[in-house]
Chain A
Amino acid sequence: MHPWLGSLFGGILIGAAAVLLMAGLGRIAGISGIAGGLIRPGVTDRIWRLAFVLGLVLAPLLLGLLRGDTGIGAVQVALPWMALAGLLVGIGTGVGSGCTSGHGVCGIARLSPRSLLATAVFMASGIATVYVVRHLLGGLA
């Protein structure tokens, strides 16, 4: 299969997951919202959130059993950069109320102006960051 077709199919599965969650539980399939909700004060519905995250974690293992390749790629940057990246992703998606899934997929599918803006901003910021890292700094050792 052409890699682009594989990616399109992967995207369709993500969409199917989002539709299933909306049809069943009436929830947006935003990962930062679902997983972040596990530690948000006042949140009482932790069990479905845990179940969703469990499914997410188990999926590549299932894929590995089915086709021998989990699809999990190697980490690209050294540990201190991973720590910094995680903190920025956590604070950013927490403060900005969403990530690639909540804003980028579910929000755009609903034509939410907030999500369209957020997606444009994090795409631009991600592209700018990779530009600075790769083409100005020559990579992160």
Chain B
Amino acid sequence: MKILVALLSGLLFGLGLSLGGMTDPAVVLAFLDLFGAWDPRLAFVMLGAVLTTAVGYRLVLRRPRPLLEDSFQLPKARHFDIRLIAGAALFGIGWGIAGYCPGPALASLSGGATSLLVLVASMVAGWWLAARLPSNNR
């Protein structure tokens, strides 16, 4: 059942990415091109996703626990640190170079582009490295 819920959630997520235009890096880069021919589409994706999640979380998190697990696993860190800021800055550079953040990169794999496979492989290598950096307390 857990596997089914996760599969369904991934499926919905991927459908949303595709329908929203996020699996097209040209659309993503045009959204980030604030000083050129700006395409606002991704702002609408963000708006729809944030509002839906905000309302849904409010209802769901009132319950004592999730349907299939013992507890909600919410991030506990509350402080700002250099890891958060430097990590986000590096991520933004990579996002701005190719137009792929992790979800759309994975969702676009079935398109069959070899260079996307390379991007995903180096992204996984990046996760592998980041998980083994010292003082990673997750």
Contacts and interface: CB of A to CB of B under 8 A. Distances in A.
B47 to A, nearest CB: 6
A25 B7 CA distance: 12
A57 B1 CA distance: 20
Given A19-B53, A55-B13, A8 B68 contact: no
Contacts of A40: 127, 131, 138
Given A14-B49, A59-B18, A122-B95, A90 B13 contact: no
Given A18-B56, A105-B53, A75 B25 contact: yes
Interface of A: 3-29, 31-32, 35-36, 39-41, 47-49, 51-63, 70-79, 81-97, 99-101, 103-110, 112-114, 117-119, 121-131, 133-135, 140
Contacts of B111: 60, 70, 72
Contacts of A24: 2, 5-6, 9, 66-69
Give the size category of B's interface with A: 35 or more
